[in-house]
């Protein structure tokens, strides 16, 4: 009798532990289909070789940009058990596959490894060199991976990460394209590959795996379309194609707006989103599916926005998760009159269609100078960003930030896309990584709303006025007035009902030198070759403190990410009381570093946001900039350009557009219930319960040794406690 109760207690504890992990195993489990010989035969013939060659270029992994010589050198290192991905130190890996490698390196490296980056590099090296060693090792690595993955019940690292699965699909297709016509073709290898593709497709199609809110969901759908295109003979190909199309239809209502802008708060992710959308349109064409006209319209407008933000030197303005430095070309597709998309190809050029553009729904404005009269060395780009769509991807706290580029040089910037797993990531996702005014210590997810109060732009003069209402009565306003092509006046104002501190970090590009100027309140930026400088003045209300920082950890300031690497950069940290403070920042370019100012700028009048006057004592004549109501007047004392003025127009009512986007997002959230990722919670809970079980057994042994009559009641009490506790864990704590 006692043994029965003991076994019942053990069984109850085991069932509780099992209940913790069964949902996890069920979530990741998909049936492994059996591949019939007829499917293998048809898959060797369909699609035609030109299509397979085109598909080989439609990669969904992290871009590995290597020249042909670099490919073969990297492949040679892989054969020696060393994987060196661009931007990362070499990492020793097991050949053909060691599961412990899933735990090595930084998160992005682990993502690339789980995306089969190593065998893909080998396949690309084989394609350019014909070296059979590369193909053989790629085959062995892929087969070893397939064998390992097939045996797993629970995730490890990025094994079943949504992006990694999507990227593996394109690598498996590339491998299939290389081996299906070979003389040493193996039906056993073919069956393994087609099974792995089918299993990946089932996991991508599984509702709980769908990351609807971000570009990851787009990539999941593109991977399903890739399967349908590269493996049309698979029994599930048509189902995968339809699932992908239906999901894309839901996502396209909020992934980018009618202005054509990807709503992921980043220049880099607009570029990435345009690549994904171009691929989606091409996949549909290859599958003889017609995209909705709205997709085509958004895509064409998205290319127009890409032209507005793309700079002649190949860089993008660093707002949101965007890297500094030159970026790989953004391939595009051309849409014919029938709505069919061409194969993707590099854009011939990115030339803005207009000098000024406002995107009020997405939350951006872009101003260009000297588009027609000068080449890239004389062109200037000004970008303001205030986009914020809660729940959408890659949001950094940076509303009202300002980005300046001129003469093939980034001058004013934000920090950019900080690497995963490296200190400082939390700071860059919060306000410290941008030049937007904010409360000291304000969290990245603070309750806030930013609105465009006024805007006007014409040749030689442009202005915008933004206001952000923040937490607990704090609000900040930023006005930017751009004069000519080389001078910017920034007026920041903070209001607060609580005595706190407001701060702004002006970050400049790493290749610039920052020093104190000869005039009061002046700082000077210069390029290393001393062919261009920028005079920077910061004037502030009482209590303003200014610090120069570079590569500082505490406080976090003076960093820019270039090529995925954080690089120390010069910066100015401006700190002020949050109640009723103001700051005027002047940024003036100087060709050949010829100083332009005879004296420091002065604030001549200040009567609120729409009533102020600033004097700019230039050597060739003083300039006064004045705002009265909605009118900005520039009085030019030099007599060269005469007086100029513009009237700021109020922003359009965007209620309907915002409601449509938010409604589509919420509808998708209700439709696609994402499985909660609780692997770490389950692990910690399992260890805790094992500890509880051991403590229980020790306590029972002690109690039974003293009073054997309590054996059965103690066991029954323990069983009841495990049942109640297990139910609470299953139904409440883990919420499954």
Domain limit, last residue, from 210, 236, 271: 210
Task: Provide the terminal-to-terminal Cα distance of the chain, rounded to the nearest Å.
Answer: 36
- Which segments in the chain show pLDDT lower than 70? 1, 374-375, 638-642, 704-711, 735-736
Q: Are residues 686 and 556 in the same domain?
A: no
Q: Are residues 603 and 486 in the same domain?
A: yes
Q: Which of 405, 395, 379, 417 shows the shortest CA–CA distance to 315?
A: 405
pLDDT (tens digit per residue) in 5-63: 788 888 888 888 888 898 899 999 998 888 999 999 999 999 999 999 999 999 999 88
Radius of gyration of the chain (CA): 30
Residues 661, 188: Cα–Cα separation, whole Å: 49
Residue 220 lies in a domain: no
Q: Which of 168, 287, 170, 162 shows the shortest CA–CA distance to 215?
A: 162
Residue 168 lies in a domain: yes
The pLDDT, as a whole number, for residue 640 is 61
**Sheet bearing 475-483, strands edge to edge:** 449-458, 461-469, 475-483, 487-495, 581-591, 532-540, 522-527, 512-516
Number of Cβ within a 10 Å radius of residue 647: 12
Burial class of residue 110 in the structure, from the number of CB atoms within 10 Å of its CB (0-12 exposed, 13-18 middle, 19+ buried):
buried
Q: Are residues 45 and 121 in the same domain?
A: yes
Q: Are residues 572 and 695 in the same domain?
A: no
Q: 259 — phi, psi (to 5°)?
A: -80, -10
3-state secondary structure of 647: strand
Domain limit, last residue, from 626, 658, 690: 658
Q: Are residues 510 and 562 in the same domain?
A: yes
Q: 293 — phi, psi (to 5°)?
A: -55, -30
Q: Are residues 651 and 691 in the same domain?
A: no
Domain limit, last residue, from 595, 625, 658: 658
Give me the long-range contacts of 74-79 (CB less than 8 A, separation at least 24): 74/121, 74/125, 75/121, 75/122, 75/124, 75/125, 75/126, 75/131, 75/134, 78/118, 78/121, 78/122, 78/137, 79/133, 79/134, 79/137
Tell me which residue range forms the domain holding 603: 356-658
Q: Are residues 580 and 723 in the same domain?
A: no
Q: Are residues 645 and 716 in the same domain?
A: no
The pLDDT, as a whole number, for residue 709 is 65
Residues with Cβ within 8 Å of 250's Cβ and at least 6 positions away in sequence, in order, are: 212, 664, 667, 668, 671, 672
Q: Are residues 695 and 583 in the same domain?
A: no
Q: Which of 440, 462, 386 shows the shortest CA–CA distance to 634?
A: 462
Tokens matching residue 663 = 């409604």
Q: Are residues 448 and 482 in the same domain?
A: yes
Tell me if 254 sits within 8 A of 308, measured CB to CB. Answer: no
The pLDDT, as a whole number, for residue 705 is 64
Residue 291 lies in a domain: no
Q: Which of 259, 197, 249 shows the shortest CA–CA distance to 223?
A: 197
Q: 51 — phi, psi (to 5°)?
A: -70, -45
Q: What angle do CA 7, 8, 14 make, to 5 degrees?
A: 90
Half-sphere exposure of 180 (CA within 13 A, CB side): 25
pLDDT (tens digit per residue) in 452-505: 999 999 999 999 999 999 999 999 999 999 999 999 999 999 999 999 999 999
Q: Are residues 635 and 701 in the same domain?
A: no
Q: Are residues 545 and 640 in the same domain?
A: yes
Residues with Cβ within 8 Å of 488's Cβ and at least 6 positions away in sequence, in order, are: 382, 402, 404, 480, 481, 482, 586, 587, 588
Residues 584, 229: Cα–Cα separation, whole Å: 57
Provide DSSP, 538-588.
EEE-TT-EEEEEESBTTTTBSEEEETTEEEE-EEEEEEEESSSEEEEEEEE
Q: Which of 516, 462, 512, 520 shows the shortest CA–CA distance to 486?
A: 462
Residue 524 lies in a domain: yes
The pLDDT, as a whole number, for residue 625 is 96
Provide DSSP, 83-150.
E--TTS--EE--SS--GGGGG-S-HHHHHHHHTTHHHHHHHHHHHHH--HHHHHHHHHHHHHHHHHHH
The pLDDT, as a whole number, for residue 1 is 47
Tokens matching residue 459 = 């040749």
Residues with Cβ within 8 Å of 535's Cβ and at least 6 positions away in sequence, in order, are: 517, 522, 523, 524, 586, 587, 588, 590, 595, 596, 597
Residue 351 lies in a domain: no
Q: E strands of 416-531, at which residues? A: 438-439, 449-458, 461-469, 475-483, 487-495, 501-508, 512-516, 522-527
Residues 377, 639: Cα–Cα separation, whole Å: 27
Q: Which of 222, 193, 282 shows the shortest CA–CA distance to 60?
A: 222
Is the bond into 21 cis (omega within 30 degrees of 0)?
Answer: no
Residues 671, 659: Cα–Cα separation, whole Å: 18
Tell me if 416 sits within 8 A of 392, measured CB to CB. Answer: no
Tell me if 138 sits within 8 A of 78, measured CB to CB. Answer: no
The count of structural domains within the chain is 3
Residue 200 lies in a domain: yes
Residues 368, 351: Cα–Cα separation, whole Å: 11
Number of Cβ within a 10 Å radius of residue 473: 13
Handedness of CA 182, 187, 193, 199 (dihedral sign): positive
3-state secondary structure of 417: coil
Q: Whole-prediction pTM value?
A: 0.94
Residues 644, 211: Cα–Cα separation, whole Å: 51
The domain that holds 441 is classified in CATH as 2.70.98.70
Residues 510, 528: Cα–Cα separation, whole Å: 11
Residues 48, 286: Cα–Cα separation, whole Å: 11
Residue 499 lies in a domain: yes
The pLDDT, as a whole number, for residue 723 is 84
Query: Given the DSSP bridges, would you call strands 356-359 and 364-369 parallel, antiparallel or unpaired?
Result: antiparallel
């Amino acid at each position: 009798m006692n043994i029965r109760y003991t076994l019942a207690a053990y069984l109850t504890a085991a069932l509780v532990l099992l209940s913790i992990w069964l949902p996890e195993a069920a979530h990741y489990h998909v049936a492994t289909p059996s591949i019939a010989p007829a499917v293998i035969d048809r898959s060797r013939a369909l699609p035609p070789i030109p299509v397979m060659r085109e598909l080989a270029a439609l990669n969904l992994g992290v871009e590995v940009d290597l020249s042909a010589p670099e490919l073969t050198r990297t492949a040679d290192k892989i054969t020696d058990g060393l994987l060196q991905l661009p931007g990362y130190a070499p990492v020793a890996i097991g050949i053909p596959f060691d599961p412990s490698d899933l735990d090595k390196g930084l998160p992005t490296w682990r993502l690339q490894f789980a995306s089969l980056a190593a065998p893909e590099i080998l396949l690309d090296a084989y394609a350019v060199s014909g070296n059979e060693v590369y193909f053989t090792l790629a085959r062995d690595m892929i087969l070893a991976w397939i064998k390992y993955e097939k045996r797993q019940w629970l995730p490890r690292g990025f094994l079943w990460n949504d992006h990694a699965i999507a990227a593996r699909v394109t690598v498996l297709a590339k491998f299939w394209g290389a081996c299906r016509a070979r003389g040493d073709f193996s039906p056993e290898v073919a069956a393994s590959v087609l099974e792995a593709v089918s299993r990946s497709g089932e996991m991508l199609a599984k509702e709980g795996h769908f990351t609807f809110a971000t570009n990851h969901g787009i990539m999941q759908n593109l991977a399903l379309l890739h399967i349908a295109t590269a493996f049309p003979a698979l029994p599930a190909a048509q189902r995968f194609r339809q699932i992908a199309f239906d999901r894309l239809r839901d996502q396209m209502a909020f992934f980018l707006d009618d202005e054509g802008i990807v709503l992921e708060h980043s220049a880099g992710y607009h570029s990435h989103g345009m690549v994904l959308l171009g691929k989606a349109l091409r996949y549909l064409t290859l599958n003889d599916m017609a995209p909705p006209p709205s997709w085509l319209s958004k895509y064409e407008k998205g290319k127009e926005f890409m032209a507005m933000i793309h700079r002649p030197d190949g860089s993008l303005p660093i707002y949101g998760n965007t890297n500094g430095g030159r970026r790989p070309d953004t391939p595009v597709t051309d849409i014919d009159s029938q709505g069919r998309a061409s194969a993707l190809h590099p854009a011939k050029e990115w030339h803005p269609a207009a000098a000024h553009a406002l995107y009020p729904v997405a939350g951006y404005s872009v101003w260009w100078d000297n588009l027609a009269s000068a080449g890239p060395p004389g062109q200037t780009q000004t970008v303001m960003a205030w986009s914020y769509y809660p729940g959408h991807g890659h949001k950094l706290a940076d509303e009202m930030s300002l980005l300046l580029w001129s003469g093939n040089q980034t001058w004013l910037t934000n920090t950019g896309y900080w690497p995963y797993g490296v200190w400082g990531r939390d700071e860059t996702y919060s306000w410290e990584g941008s030049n937007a005014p904010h409360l000291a210590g304000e969290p990245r997810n603070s309750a806030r709303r930013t609105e465009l109060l006024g805007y006007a732009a014409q040749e030689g003069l442009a202005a915008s006025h933004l206001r952000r209402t923040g937490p607990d009565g704090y609000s900040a306003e930023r006005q930017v007035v751009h004069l000519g092509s080389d001078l910017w006046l920034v007026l920041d104002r903070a209001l607060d009902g609580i005595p706190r501190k407001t701060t702004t970090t002006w970050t400049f590009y790493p290749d610039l030198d920052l020093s104190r100027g000869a005039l009061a309140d002046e700082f000077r930026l210069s390029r290393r070759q001393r062919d261009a400088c920028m005079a920077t003045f910061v004037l502030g209300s009482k209590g303003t403190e200014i610090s120069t920082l570079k590569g500082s950890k505490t406080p976090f300031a003076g960093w820019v990410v270039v090529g995925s690497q954080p690089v120390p950069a010069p910066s100015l940290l401006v700190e002020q009381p949050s109640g009723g403070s103001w700051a005027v920042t002047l940024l003036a370019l100087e060709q050949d570093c010829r100083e332009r100012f005879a004296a420091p700028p002065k604030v001549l009048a200040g009567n609120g946001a729409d009533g102020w006057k600033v004097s700019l004592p230039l050597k060739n004549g003083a300039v006064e900039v004045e705002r009265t109501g909605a009118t900005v007047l520039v009085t030019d004392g030099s007599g060269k350009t005469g007086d100029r003025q513009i009237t700021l127009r109020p922003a359009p009512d965007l209620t309907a557009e915002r409601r449509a986007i938010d409604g589509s997002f919420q509808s998708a959230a209700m439709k696609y219930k994402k499985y909660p990722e609780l692997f770490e919670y389950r692990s910690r809970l399992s260890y805790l319960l094992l500890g509880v079980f051991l403590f229980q057994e020790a306590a029972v042994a002690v109690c039974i040794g003293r009073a054997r009559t309590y054996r059965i009641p103690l066991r029954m009490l323990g069983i009841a406690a495990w049942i109640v506790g297990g139910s609470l864990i299953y139904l409440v704590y883990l919420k499954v």
